[in-house]
Chain A
């Protein structure tokens, strides 16, 4: 299998955000980039939107890599810099999870 790269993770997150944007009526999500905030007042997502993004992404990652991961794991929740703050940080976290998971 082709190694799962950070670029691939960013593409997955952005593609899923664009789809969510259509579903939620928030077209701005189609313009997201690595700096886009995923929670907080500056984020276009509310808490339910963030949960939905994570649930959808876990399946997207499984389809792309054959690996089942849990994005909101204990390590992620205890980090000083939350991996859910921005798209780029989330992509870093996903790559780490995929590489440390078992097929």
Chain B
């Protein structure tokens, strides 16, 4: 049975991804800072702060002790902050880098070693259409996700020879806690720019991401964005 780790699995997209993988027969280990309510015989919750290296490495060691392998890592945990560049406190930029970039970094390092030992594995990093759009008002968030995209490409180049694929998937706004603070008008403009004027349902986002594990391919280092970027 295949084994997955999903970060940020307590709610929103992370939880939906966990439920999808469970429905498809996977064993799922969910990393989140808070207690998780998802109950399933093949779901194992872990209390993890992805920005803390020791916390991540301890949790991954626990997964390996229990499951013996990791076939799929989804770096989904993320934080967002919308503010003009000149009004964004440096502490906010640092906090976003810690969760979005370093969180992916720590998980990739810890799980990547296991995948190299297996000579197989798939890592999916979550990014955003806001990066190619260079979206105004999201400098700290966009920069942290751009770092994730760069990490994706370098990791893919370094690990491909050992059978480990690393790809990124970029989404537009979804109806989750992450976008709740964004005004409806701004969301509508953004959805228009990516060619999805009606917005994106959670299930559509899950299907888009799931192509990475449902459709086996040797592609690594790719970054796919949902929608038509204009």
Contact = CB atoms under 8 A, between A and B. Distances in A.
Contacts of A59: 117
Q: Give the interface SS of chain B, mostly helix, strand, loop or mixed.
A: helix
A56 interface: yes
B89 interface: no
A56 B117 contact: yes
Interface string B107-119: 0000001101100
A59 B116 CA distance: 11
A70 B60 CA distance: 13
B116 A55 contact: yes
Contact of B162 (A48, A58, A68, A70): A48
A51 interface: yes
Q: Size class of A's contact patch?
A: under 10
Contact of A55 (B57, B61, B113): B113
Contacts of B161: 48
A15 B61 CA distance: 24
Contacts of B113: 55, 58
B158 interface: yes
B158 A51 contact: yes
8 contacts: A48-B158, A48-B161, A48-B162, A55-B113, A56-B116, A56-B117, A58-B113, A70-B57
Interface of B: 57, 61, 113-114, 116-117, 158, 161-162
Interface of A: 48, 51-52, 55-56, 58-59, 68, 70
